[in-house]
Structure 1
Amino acid sequence: EWLDEHFPFIPWQNRILCGHKHILKGDVLIDDRSFNLETFEGRSIQFTSPHNVNTEGFERVNTWFEIGEKLL
């Protein structure tokens, strides 16, 4: 429901929720864990969280608004 409200332009058929992100192939991965971003072959965007504030090496965003600015 949250995705429908905030990202109505992404139909449910194009959403993937998974725990093991290393299996994903795509254009963009937004995640708070650098472990998940390290093996992703597309554009990796790290969502800032208290546990990753000192992590470097990935494009970073702090809010969903920033993600919208980068991707829309």
Structure 2
Amino acid sequence: MVEQIVDRMSDALAAGENVKISSFGTFLLNDKRERIGRNPKTGVESPVSARRVVTFRPSQGLRDQVAGSGET
């Protein structure tokens, strides 16, 4: 069952749709533009190609629950 949910989420993201899970959070697509990056070890600059990335934005309820989990 979990695999089916993940498959549907993956299909939606691949189709360019954001995925919202109520009381959990939202998976968002961000288009990153091409830029110049730098190798931190050598300092050599090199181009980083444009790409689409997935980010996760937790719901307020999830943030509150995680923030309160350190309390005893």
- TM-score past 0.5 threshold: no
Taking structure 2 as the reference length, what is the TM-score of the superposition? 0.21
| The structure with more helix, counted as a fraction of residues | 1
Greater relative CO (CA pairs within 8 A, separation 6+): 2
| The structure with more strand, counted as a fraction of residues | 2
Q: Please tell me whether Structure 1 or Structure 2 has the larger radius of gyration of its CA atoms.
A: 2
